[in-house]
Structure 1
């Protein structure tokens, strides 16, 4: 906190005039303070208490100039702020608290992340489940095709004993394989509905 002025040439000049003109009425304490200030050739710092005493004297003595005229080219003296050293225990506690807070934030960000994550589509367990599901679909389609082809072959071979013409044999084999294929599709749909939990 500031408690003094840095005064300039205006103060030197006016203070010298005050010291020369008023030998009797100027208080001795104020006179010695002003002389000590004027002896200093470098930067002069005028304390607030000395400035108050000088202002009171100028008012009481009825001088033709005032304190603000003395301090016209002056500025406030701002002392350098000295920071107190930090307590090492406090610093250590703050570091521990920062680490805990960072760890908490990290855990909050990564709580939905699984360490078995393979890619953005899902975990390895989900990937395995998808592979098993795809394998079941492939087996079902293969089973359907084998059943239809086998029915066609059996019907074609069996119809040779009933029909002599090839056209009639093919038509009877297509009808038989179509009926078996539709039956397979019906069973497949009912099975899938049961797996999905639908009635």
Structure 2
């Protein structure tokens, strides 16, 4: 919290030019001593006494005129010493993180991680194999439905166009049913993830 002001050029000029000659000598000496210091810091108590002295002397100068160009002085906060336990713990955490980063960067340098890569390839091959089997099963089911309907419709219809139309309709229905079942199975597999 602020408890002092850093003196500005107007207050210095007033003290040097003799505008504050009517002030008591002790107060003037205290002001000169405060302005002679490196930081030129004036405490609020000194400013209160200066204000009272200016009022008693009925000076034409007001305190706000003298304080023109002054800054609030905030003393530097003392930095507490760091806890040695905290510093040691932070060093351990930094070392662990650096070690993990090093392991992550160098995991493919040695042959130890090739099993992970081969298992990844094996998993992808199995996944592709399942897709090919599903597509092959879909094609075979639709083609079989088409062929069975085409041959079976000869006993019902006499026109060849009716045979083909019936076969296409039945193959379409079977294909849609098969697609529906595949979507449900895929949805179930994604739900397990």
Question: What TM-score does the superposition give when structure 2 sets the normalisation length?
Answer: 0.43
Question: What TM-score does the superposition give when structure 1 sets the normalisation length?
Answer: 0.42
| Larger Rg, first or second structure (1 or 2) | 1
From the two aligned structures, give the one with the greater helix fraction.
2
